[in-house]
Amino acid sequence: MINDPVADPPLRRMETLLPAGFPSPADDYLEDRIDLNRELVQNPTSTFLARVRGDSMRDANLQDGDLILIDRSQVPRSGSMVLAWLDGGFTVKHLVLKKDRALLRAANPAYPDLELNEEEDNRIWGVVTHVIHREGNASPGKRLERGRPRPHNTV
Amino acid sequence: MKALVDVNSFYASCEQVFRPDLWGRPVVVLSNNDGCIIAANREAKALGVPMWKPAFQVLPELEKHGVSIFSSNYPLYGDMSKRVMETLSTLTPALEVYSIDEAFLEVPETELDLQIYGQRLRQRVHQWTGLPVGVGIAPTKALTKVASRMAKRERERNKNVFVIADDETRAACLKDFQVEDIWGIGKRIAKRLHERQVHTAWDFIQLPDVWVRKELTVTGLRLKRELEGIPQLQLEVTPPAKQMIGTAKSVGKNLEDKKLIQEALAWYVAEVAVKLRKQNRIAGRMTVFLETNRFRPEDKQYSNQTQLKLPVPTNDTPALCHYAALGFERIFVPGYRYKKVGIWLSNLVVPSAVQQNLFDPDPQPRHTQLMQVMDRINTKYGKATLRTASAGFRREEWKLRQQQLSPRYTTCMDEIMEVGS
């Protein structure tokens, strides 16, 4: 879903960009650039993206407009941040497992706990694994246009 | 042992994954251009939703019954299909993707309890993708098809998994299985079999080998063996190269304007050319076709097609557009309201396998580069950002109607799920 190797190869061999002249002493030590897909997405097959609206998880560092990664293959535990279906809508909350019942708890004192009753207990859609928040005045997260690389920038 | 896994009401189920409000409710999916119903889930079928009927005839009735209606969202179904296959491949050493929603699997020899293995497949696919699947397990591919039917037939009791592991179960299933439902037996053959008093799959395997071989060729005999529990067909793990590629698309309105139909055609040709290049193939033959709206009996009807042998096989968009236009001129007759236009490409080969034509030297070297640039630009900035002038600027006037389209939740950043918190 996130990684499209055809559209955009993540790695370009630097050596092809070098001007004639001295070979780079780093050539023998080239490594792949860090790939966030690999770092953040443990199981791409079961991972989905969503955008969050609302402020009920404010104190858990989840703000209105943030992106979340949801992994359906992870087992929700008490304390997990989950995406649940409740009363006709998707909602992100903390799961709290008690002896005899399950609760959805907001991270904002303005919101009461919600009961997750028997019938709805299979309605946890997935476990939230990461929150991606764009910092205030940073430019949008979209990939920048990559022009022809200038040699003096690449070594 | 082999397993056949298929997703229950695949298209409708894909829509439901992202819409828990529709779980357990009737859902139908319309064909391209919202023309007719191509998929309905169990709840919709229970209401008697007629498949393949022109949508405009039945939609009001469906809405009255609270059926949710979706345009077909192939980007979503394609991605969900991939996810299902990837999930399955974590539980099997060999997998054959048989169709968008079906796969044959090799059951690992270490699996002792096949029922439990089937349940594990079901559970994992549902957990990872949200999609419900059925599983048929048996010694041969043809028998897995039978088992898969059985799994659906008594869904509750069989828990969507059915195993044919011994001869008694096999016999009982085959005696309870209509001959026309056998994998690979068409309507025509089924009719002939019924005339010979062969009504069930069990009757079929009682036929003498000689007769089957003579009447149904070696393929029929192979099928008989498979139903007897003797494997004849292996899993095709690497898909065979496509022999044909094309699009048979409707345009959104009934078009009379020749120029406009040509633009739509050029647009579709460009789409096919992209597919062709992605698969690293060039085509040697092209079929162009044109059709009026079959569902409007009050209109004058016309349909035609023509074949062109390309002087040099190619995957170059301008060249393919050129030949498509030639073919189009041959079959276009003014005065009709056209609904469908498209091309098929065949004689597909890898580019290196082609001899150059002395009299029509190939302009490829430069064009290959041009196409690479075009594909790169279009991948980055969106489909058909860069296109041939013949595709025009009036897509709004002919494009497909897709009024009930759901978001491309998994393939388009601007259309991902929105959730509350």
pLDDT band for B244, please (50, 70, 90 cuts).
confident
> Which secondary structure element, helix H or strand E, spans residue A71, and what is its range?
strand A67-71
CB nearest to A7's CB, from B379, B410, B417: B379
- A98: annotated active-site residue: no
CB nearest to B421's CB, from A43, A45, A91: A91
At B240 the pLDDT is 63
Q: Do A45 and B410 lie within an 8 Å CB cutoff?
A: no
CA dist B371 and B278 (Å) reads 11
> Which secondary structure element, helix H or strand E, spans residue A93, and what is its range?
strand A89-97
Query: Nearest Cα to B362, choosing from B288, B274, B308, B282?
Result: B282
At B248 the pLDDT is 64
Secondary structure (DSSP) of B244-279: -EEEEEEEEEEE--HHHHHHHHHHHHHHHHHHHHHT
CA dist B342 and B339 (Å) reads 10
Q: Do A85 and B20 lie within an 8 Å CB cutoff?
A: yes
Q: What is the mean pLDDT of chain B?
A: 88
CB nearest to B420's CB, from A6, A49, A89: A89
Contacts of B374 (CB under 8 A, 6+ apart): B317, B386
Among the ranges given (A92-101, B29-38, B213-222), the one the predictor scored with the smallest mean pLDDT: B29-38
User: How many angstroms away from the CA of A22 is the closest CA of chain B?
Assistant: 31
CA torsion sign, A64 to B19 to B130 to A122?
positive
At B238 the pLDDT is 72
Q: Which residues of A touch B416 (CB under 8 A)?
A: 48-51, 67
Secondary structure (DSSP) of B352-368: GG-PPPTTS---HHHHH
**Alpha helix segments (H runs only) across chain A:** 36-40, 151-154
Determine the 3-state secondary structure of B151 from DSSP.
helix
CB nearest to A45's CB, from B86, B413, B421: B86
- A99: annotated active-site residue: no
Going by DSSP bridges, is the β-strand pair B102-106/B95-99 parallel, antiparallel, or unpaired? antiparallel
Q: Exposed/middle/buried for B322, CB within 10 Å: 0-12, 13-18, 19+? A: middle
For residue A153, the one-letter residue type is N
B197-208 pLDDT per residue, tens = 999 999 999 999
Query: Nearest Cα to B301, choosing from B337, B328, B351?
Result: B337
At A119 the pLDDT is 65
**For chain A, what are the domain ranges?**
43-132
> ipTM of the assembly?
0.77
Q: Which residues of B touch A52 (CB under 8 A)?
A: 418-421
> Which of B79, B275, B418, B421 should be substituted to probe chain A, the one whose Cβ sees the most A Cβ atoms within 10 Å?
B421
Q: Would an 8 Å CB–CB cutoff place A80 in contact with chain B?
A: no
User: How many angstroms away from the CA of A96 is the closest CA of chain B?
Assistant: 16
For residue A104, the one-letter residue type is L
Going by DSSP bridges, is the β-strand pair B133-138/B2-7 parallel, antiparallel, or unpaired? antiparallel
Q: Which residues of B touch A89 (CB under 8 A)?
A: 420
Q: Which residues of A touch B419 (CB under 8 A)?
A: 50-53, 68, 83, 90-92
- B279 to chain A: nearest residue by CA? A6
pLDDT tens for chain A, residues 1 to 155: 444 444 454 554 555 555 667 777 887 788 888 888 889 999 999 999 999 999 999 999 999 999 999 999 999 999 999 999 988 889 999 999 998 888 999 999 999 999 887 665 458 999 999 999 988 777 765 555 454 444 443 33
- Yes or no: say if A101 and A89 are a contact pair by the CB < 8 Å rule: no
Provide the 8-state DSSP code for A18. P
Hey, how many other C-beta atoms are within 10 angstroms of the C-beta on B127? 15
Q: Delineate the domains of chain B, giving CATH numbers in brackets.
A: 2-163 (3.30.70.270), 167-227 (1.10.150.20), 244-397 (3.30.1490.100)
CATH fourth-level superfamily of A43-132: Umud Fragment, subunit A (2.10.109.10)
- Yes or no: say if B76 and B409 are a contact pair by the CB < 8 Å rule: yes
For residue B364, pLDDT over 70 is answered with no
Query: Nearest Cα to A107, choosing from A69, A68, A67, A54?
Result: A54
Q: Do B417 and A72 lie within an 8 Å CB cutoff?
A: no
At A148 the pLDDT is 47
Q: Which residues of A touch B127 (CB under 8 A)?
A: 46, 72-73
- Average pLDDT for B189-218: 93
From the candidates A46, A56, A78, A80, give the one annotated as an active-site residue: A56
pTM listed for this prediction: 0.79
Q: Do A91 and B419 lie within an 8 Å CB cutoff?
A: yes
At B170 the pLDDT is 96
Going by DSSP bridges, is the β-strand pair A102-105/A114-116 parallel, antiparallel, or unpaired? antiparallel
User: How many angstroms away from the CA of A9 is the closest CA of chain B?
Assistant: 12
At A155 the pLDDT is 34
Q: Would an 8 Å CB–CB cutoff place A45 in contact with chain B?
A: yes
At B357 the pLDDT is 59
Q: Do B419 and A62 lie within an 8 Å CB cutoff?
A: no
User: How many angstroms away from the CA of B5 is the closest CA of chain A?
Assistant: 17
Contacts of A70 (CB under 8 A, 6+ apart): A47, A48, A49, A50, A83, A125, A126, A127, A128, A129
Q: Which residues of A touch B20 (CB under 8 A)?
A: 85, 90, 123, 125
CA dist A45 and A71 (Å) reads 9
At B176 the pLDDT is 93
For residue B255, pLDDT over 70 is answered with yes
- Average pLDDT for B167-193: 92
- Yes or no: say if B367 and B318 are a contact pair by the CB < 8 Å rule: yes
Q: Do B419 and A72 lie within an 8 Å CB cutoff?
A: no
Q: Exposed/middle/buried for B17, CB within 10 Å: 0-12, 13-18, 19+? A: buried
Q: Do A125 and B127 lie within an 8 Å CB cutoff?
A: no
CA dist B283 and B366 (Å) reads 18
At B35 the pLDDT is 79
Q: Would you state the structure tokens that stand for residue B308, as one six-digit string?
A: 């062109």
- Average pLDDT for B216-237: 91
Residue showing tokens 């791409």: A44
A13-49 pLDDT per residue, tens = 555 555 667 777 887 788 888 888 889 999 999 999 9
pLDDT band for B353, please (50, 70, 90 cuts).
low
B77-127 pLDDT per residue, tens = 999 999 999 999 999 999 999 999 999 999 999 998 999 999 999 999 999
pLDDT band for B362, please (50, 70, 90 cuts).
low
Provide the 8-state DSSP code for A138. S
